[in-house]
Amino acid sequence: MSNVIELRSVRRSFVTKPDLADRIATAFGAKSSARVLRAVDGVDLEIAQGEVLGLVGESGCGKSTLGRIVAGILPQDSGEVFFNDRPIVNKTQQKDGSGLGVQMVFQNPAAALDPRQSIVDTITEAPIAHGLIKRSEARGFAIEALKRVGLRDDALDRYPHQFSGGQRQRICIARALAVDPSVVICDEAVASLDVSIQAQIINLFLDLRDKLNLSYLFISHDISVVEHVSDRIAVMYLGQIVELAPTEELLENPQHPYTKALLAEVPGLDKRLTDEPGLEGELPSPLSPPTGCRFHPRCPIATQDCRSQAPRLESTAPGHQVACLLAEKNS
């Protein structure tokens, strides 16, 4: 299988404003207070044609930052992102529509839609702007786009507020697909919806993947959402991928203590893991990540080495990679 997306050593930092404590320290003579937060800190990842890659991890670990880099709406500081073997051109710089191949669906469909734009305009704006369809074709095109996501053509001349949350997310999906992408980044795309609606939207994503041979980066803080859709799952912690494996393998044979702790917190997911301790302590600030293995302060099995040595992502079984000094290497 060929890869539609490849990331090589991707990094992205943000310079944060000084908080109150910083300002007081500066007032008492401490040096510069601008601080650098490493949101994504050296990520290598591939997404195969037609694959659903799940990305999980706690709030603030860098999932959305990574998703926005892959979608070309946020430039990385360093490293490379390839789409079909060609570097992704950031959407703020490109004018020729070459970045249309990767589209994004967000958590909050109400905020993602312009309340003053009718549904037909919402769906056809980008394909008209990029010359994919003519203005005279807009209505027919939008009817087909709506049908694809399970909405009727009487939606055409209505406005976002006239729809439910689930229907609005269907409209966002129709809009994303209107430029014929091959990769869709779904960033917490069902998190704002009722549980019963979540299942419908997840099924729609899977159905569309089969029909259109799409690939997804499916981002969620909730591993029980991701496990239903993903072929493989990547686990992220403080800006880095700590474990990556086919879904079944990750659920049945997790190697990283962080993955085990995440799984232990999912009710009824795997009985064997209920013996594992859940997550202890707070997520450390990405402004000053721990030395060595970033998970060591919360890790139940950390040794002295873990405090000083940063583990690399290494294979423990075919297709299974783990960044832990204590993981058993079987291959």
Ligand X SMILES: Nc1ncnc2c1ncn2[C@@H]1O[C@H](COP(=O)(O)OP(=O)(O)OP(=O)(O)O)[C@@H](O)[C@H]1O
Residues making contact with Mg ion (CB under 5 A):
64
Which of Mg ion, ligand X, none binds 181 (CB below 5-8 Å, type-dependent)?
Answer: none
Q: Determine if 82 is a binding residue for ligand X (CB under 6 A).
A: no
Provide the minimum distance between the beta carbon of 289 and ligand X in the complex, in angstroms, as a whole number.
11
Does residue 61 belong to the site contacting ligand X (CB under 6 A)?
yes
Query: Please, which of residues 262-301 interact with ligand X by CB under 6 A?
Result: 286
Per-residue x/- track, 216-245, ligand X (CB under 6 A): -----x------------------------
Q: Least separation, in Å, of the C-beta of 278 and ligand X? A: 18
Rounded distance between C-alpha atoms, residue 331 and residue 318, angstroms: 7
Among the residue ranges 45-53, 54-62, 246-254, 288-296, the one whose residues contact ligand X (CB under 6 A): 54-62
- CB 71 to Mg ion: min, Å: 13
Q: What are phi and psi of 6, to 5 degrees?
A: -135, 130
Q: Which of 5, 7, 10, 39 binds ligand X (CB under 6 A)?
A: 39
Least distance (Å) between residue 193 CB and ligand X: 16
By the rule CB under 6 A, 64 interacts with ligand X: yes
**In this complex, which beta carbon is closest to ligand X, that of residue 156 or of residue 261?**
261
Which CB, 61 or 273, lies closer to ligand X?
61
For ligand X, the binding residues (CB under 6 A) are: 14, 16, 37, 39, 57, 59-65, 221, 286
